[in-house]
């Protein structure tokens, strides 16, 4: 089941420490995150990391990586200390590598015909 942009905003806010687990995100923080997401996603697409045409249908296998990447990009706007920024940056770098692995080849759904020698 794909995860929505509301789930994405909530998880990013939790990763940034803006809210506790399960607490609602304040409107101002949610707006900062929502406004930044299209630019973050566009950058990932341009650099060939991943494609997310619809943030209301983020594939589950890519969700956590997208959260890490977005949290890293937004860390300075949320005033995180330097050590947390470095930690988020390393998670984002690992997330980008994993997303590149996920998008190697799309599944066509067609069966492969066996060829015997």
Tokens 């909530």 belong to residue: 10
Q: CA Rg, the chain, in Å?
A: 17
Q: Confirm whether 112 is domain-assigned.
A: no
Q: Confirm whether 95 is domain-assigned.
A: yes
pTM as predicted? 0.81
Number of domains in the chain: 1
Q: How confident is the model over 38-91, as pLDDT tens digits? A: 999 999 999 988 888 888 888 888 899 999 999 999 998 888 889 999 999 999
Q: Confirm whether 43 is domain-assigned.
A: yes
CB 44 within 8 A of CB 99: yes
Confidence of residue 94 (pLDDT cuts 50, 70, 90): very high
Domain that residue 48 falls in: 5-102
Calpha distance 5→41 (Å, rounded): 12
Closest to 70 measured CA to CA, from 109, 32, 111: 32
Calpha distance 35→73 (Å, rounded): 12
CB 63 within 8 A of CB 10: no
Q: Confirm whether 109 is domain-assigned.
A: no
CB 15 within 8 A of CB 22: no
Q: Confirm whether 117 is domain-assigned.
A: no
pLDDT at 108: 61
pLDDT at 22: 78
Q: How confident is the model over 99-116, as pLDDT tens digits? A: 888 765 555 666 777 787
pLDDT at 117 over 80: no
Tokens 């990009």 belong to residue: 73
């Amino acid at each position: 089941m794909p995860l929505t942009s509301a789930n994405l905003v909530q998880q990013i806010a939790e990763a940034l420490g803006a809210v506790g687990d399960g607490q609602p995100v304040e409107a101002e923080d949610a707006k900062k995150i929502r406004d930044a997401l299209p630019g973050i996603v566009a950058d990932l697409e341009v650099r060939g990391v991943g494609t997310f045409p619809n943030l209301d249908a983020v594939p589950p296998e890519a969700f956590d990586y997208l959260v890490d990447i977005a949290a890293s990009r937004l860390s300075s706007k949320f005033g995180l200390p330097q050590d947390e920024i470095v930690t988020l940056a390393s998670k984002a770098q690992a997330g980008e590598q994993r997303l590149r692995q996920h998008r190697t080849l799309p599944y066509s759904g067609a069966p492969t015909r066996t060829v015997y020698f």
